[in-house]
Structure 1
């Protein structure tokens, strides 16, 4: 964890482009070191915001890429690792519940299902099958011919 904090401190001094490169390498690694780094980054709110921006840019960069699904999975995992700090703050606020008035649900009339509700609009008349026109696909004339 100490190494992750040192790396996070180093990241806070990087330019946006350099940070994006480091984020990309860390996302690609998706190992225990990367997870520890995401936790360390989440502790610094300013750095976490910069990294979330780099992750959004990375997500946009890999749109349409042949490995898009894999990268989006890794990026989403990294974003989830950055989210727990914000969730912990909202949980602390949510722990003091307010009394809530419970309103009774209005009665809903029962609907009787009859055979008339399942009748076909065409009165059950079976239609004849129609002929489908035949389509002929031809090979375009050869240019070498």
Structure 2
């Protein structure tokens, strides 16, 4: 919604049969402003090739982290789906969130051991390389403590 709250629910198969008229409501679904903002956002994503950029930059980031951590014990897996990136460690890493904030990085930790990154769809190669450089150094420091 590009800053305008919007919600949607899509179902198929047996789940679609459950959602008959009046069975499900949405706070931000279906109003003209939210719908126009959602459509405009989808148009921009398509026109600017942001889905393709997400795949390209996400793969670049994953490859960068794989190179940085190839001989580092403590990193168990690095995965991505476009720009949704997870770096799984072999130990709880909640303290990394505070360390990252002090280093001017915004990260999240999920499942106790996964550093989750959700950078913007407009991220470019230089920004991706800087992210890898700065966060890899931080994670190496964390793992060595």
TM-score by length of 1: 0.22
TM-score by length of 2: 0.22
Structure number with the higher strand fraction is 2
Give the greater-gyration-radius structure (CA): 1
